[in-house]
Amino acid sequence: MLFASLAHAEPVTVHDAFDRTVTFAQPPQRIVPIFASNTEIVASLGLADRIVGIEAYTRFPPEVLDRPLVGGRLGFSVDAIVALRPDLVVVTPSRQAASQLVDPMERLGVPVLVLLGRSVEEILTNIRLVAHVAGVTERGETVAGRFADRLARVASRVAGEAAPTVVMITGRLGNGLMLVAREGTYTGDAIVRAGGRFALPRTATLAQVSPESILRSDPDVLLWAGSESDLKALIAEPGWADLRAVRTGRAFAVSRTELLIPGPRTIDGIEHLAELFHPTRKGR
């Protein structure tokens, strides 16, 4: 039945995030998604069985973790990808993946789809696009529609509520500076959709800030993207216990996988943030 449907499939032409025109004669059956976000998008469509290779930092879903690795911290292997005979490679321009893979794959005749995840809406668009290319357009609309419904429920829940000021720390650098969630990113979008607002000014252009600037901003809510133990170690450092967020019990460790990977689990992260920002609305 599958082969009969493939034989009569019409070619599909799409435009990706680089405004490249990509044509698929048949729905791809052997997919190599580069980065966890793209793997999770493919899997959310029920297509985990089509994934034939992953990169080293992919941790979800568990059923794909036995697939061959095609790269990691040191880059990506064109030879390893080609050996898997893919009919679709999905990449994101991070860690030089697009610059290392798009041109070689094109020269070898392997279709490449470039995705960006700069906002929550773009994540839903990516789900629909991959579904369309894979020949499961209706399923993509269903999956994206369910996520959109969940987002709408969060929006309704936080509507009219005073938005707390928020700082989300996503990492620490060796020079003492801290990485924070920025405006104009999917993580920043998640904060706003959950009913928060940025305590730090100018984060649209500045991701690295000093601890002193965070302390001066004195946010209503402090988020640490990582473990509870690392958050406790941070607030044990001089000055942090005086933050309003710490004094009022609103310093929280939050999931990196939900908020730092632009994929389907970002919706879970938004729901969890809404509970932290507006606890009196919980369960509504």
Q: CA 136, CA 17: separation in Å to the nearest integer? A: 20
Q: Do domains 2-147 and 163-281 have the same CATH topology?
A: yes
Q: What confidence category does residue 180 fall into, taking pLDDT thresholds of 50, 70 and 90? A: very high
pLDDT, tens only, 24-33: 999 999 999 9
pLDDT of residue 284: 47
Q: How far apart are CA 274 and CA 157, in angstroms?
A: 8
> Mean per-residue pLDDT for 137-154?
98
Residue 199 has pLDDT above 90, yes or no: yes
**24: which 2 tokens?**
């698929």
* pLDDT above 70 for 244: yes
Residue 95 has pLDDT above 80, yes or no: no
Which homologous superfamily does the CATH classification assign to the domain defined by 163-281? Nitrogenase molybdenum iron protein domain (3.40.50.1980)
Q: At residue 282, does pLDDT exceed 70?
A: no
Per-residue pLDDT for 277 more than 50? yes
Q: How confident is the model at residue 21 (pLDDT cuts 50, 70, 90)?
A: very high
Domain locations in the chain?
2-147, 163-281
Give the mean pLDDT of the chain.
93
Q: What is the rounded average pLDDT of the residues 234-262?
A: 97
The pLDDT of residue 98 is: 85
Question: Is 60 exceeded by the pLDDT of residue 210?
Answer: yes
Contacts of 168 (CB under 8 A, 6+ apart): 180, 181, 187, 191, 223, 224, 225, 254, 259
Question: What confidence category does residue 92 fall into, taking pLDDT thresholds of 50, 70 and 90?
Answer: very high
**Mean pLDDT along residues 130-143:** 98
Q: Is 228 helix (H, G, I), strand (E, B) or coil?
A: helix
- pLDDT of the residue at 7: 45
- How many H-runs (helices) and E-runs (strands) does the chain carry? 12, 13
pLDDT in tens, 2-15: 444 444 468 999 99
Q: Give yes or no for a contact between 9 and 230, defined as CB atoms under 8 angstroms apart.
A: no
- The DSSP code for 83 is H
Architecture of domain 2-147: 3-Layer(aba) Sandwich (3.40)
Q: pLDDT class for 1, splitting at 50, 70, 90?
A: very low
140-148 average pLDDT score: 98
pTM for the predicted model, two decimal places: 0.92
Question: In this predicted structure, what is the pLDDT of residue 6?
Answer: 46
State both tokens at 271.
Answer: 């729901």
The yes-or-no verdict on residue 276 having pLDDT over 90 is yes
Q: Which two tokens stand for residue 66?
A: 């036995």
Give the span between the Cα atoms of 250 and 73, in whole angstroms.
35
